[in-house]
Amino acid sequence: MDTMRLITFVFILVSLNCGAQNIAVDIDEQTQNRALAIREKTVLSEIAEYDFSDKNFVDVNYHIPAYGLYNELWDNDHLRSSHIQIPFSDGLLKIILLESHNSPFVFPCRGSLALAYGKTRRNIFHTGVDIFLQENDPVHVCFDGVVRMAREYGDYGKIVVVRHYNGLETVYSRLNRIQVRENQIIKAGHIIGFAGRAGNTGEALLHFETRFLNEHFDPALIINFESRMLRTNILTLTPSDFSILPIPASFLKKEKNKIEDETQEDFPTATDTDTMPTTATPNPSQPETITKYHVIQKGETLFRIANQYNTSVEELMKLNNIKNATHIQAGQKLRVK
């Protein structure tokens, strides 16, 4: 009798363990590329009905987090539509997660870990972590930032992507409702939406990702999912922490054609009765210089701004005739190029 009880107990344990590992993977490594085929942007009615009159939104490009670091890419339609070289130094990338002027880190929801990042037993690469929730549980943003995406997006379902001031992005998908709008400035802990059910499992799950320069990496490198706290305040990443796929050639071709079409509209083909304006041929020995500016935010330093725009503190001081690197203030317009 005792032997039968022991066998039954072991069987239950194995069943529970297998069940946790064999959750159907709704979002895999190719999901981000499949979503690029979506042409139409879905308007979410619940967002339109929500009152945003007292919310803050970015209204100029230089208020977008890490705008220069992302080569001025701010894509409201796609999770990953461009490949950007990750600036490793001696094979390492170090990112400060919280600074003194940031709001404290907030764990995104109250559920427990359902599925980890990486390859599953079925050899499918899962690009984030799944967290068990109750349907309509609130989902919170982890750090201060600006909403880059808030929409319906392929297999991700209803998705919110937030870019943070250090260049990190966090992804919250499989939502039932979204309660933020693109370009909205939000603080850590802000409710960005409510949990929904995953398509293949029927379970209420949050699919959560961490990304840098459009590439995903293991959220467990940042967050201890048992203690629900940050592991460290300085995140260190190596090239092996990223799984980088090429962007489909079909999408790149579509985008190239789109740009060419827009150019044709701006500069129509000349006809017999229409003479095109001529432009001077640029002199290769005198490359065109594009001047860029950055408005200093509260708590920013010249060192942080220099890193954001891939320049040096000395160069910023020279461009702006600054004698002392500490004599800067919030709201000051700074030339960065």
Q: CA 24, CA 27: separation in Å to the nearest integer?
A: 9
Q: In this predicted model, which residue has the larger pLDDT, 112 or 317?
A: 112
Among all chains, which residue has been given the structure tokens 């006809």? 271
Which among 56, 102, 61 has a CA at the least distance from the CA of 295?
Answer: 61
* Mean pLDDT on 226-245: 96
Extended beta strands in the chain, E state: 93-96, 113-115, 118-119, 125-126, 129-132, 138-140, 145-152, 158-164, 168-178, 185-186, 191-197, 204-212, 215-217, 223-224, 229-230, 234-237, 293-295, 333-335
Residue 162: band (very low, low, confident or very high) from pLDDT cuts 50, 70, 90: very high
Q: In this predicted model, which residue has the larger pLDDT, 261 or 32?
A: 32
Q: CA 20, CA 18: separation in Å to the nearest integer?
A: 5
Q: In this predicted model, which residue has the larger pLDDT, 85 or 252?
A: 85
| Digit-coded pLDDT (tens) for 59-111 | 889 899 999 999 999 999 999 999 999 999 999 999 999 999 999 999 999 99
Q: CA 68, CA 335: separation in Å to the nearest integer?
A: 13
What's the mean per-residue pLDDT of the chain?
A: 84
Question: The whole model's pTM is what?
Answer: 0.73
Ordered by where they begin, the domains of the chain are 24-241 (2.70.70.10), 293-335 (3.10.350.10)
Extended beta strands in 50-128, E state: 93-96, 113-115, 118-119, 125-126
* Mean pLDDT on 208-222: 98
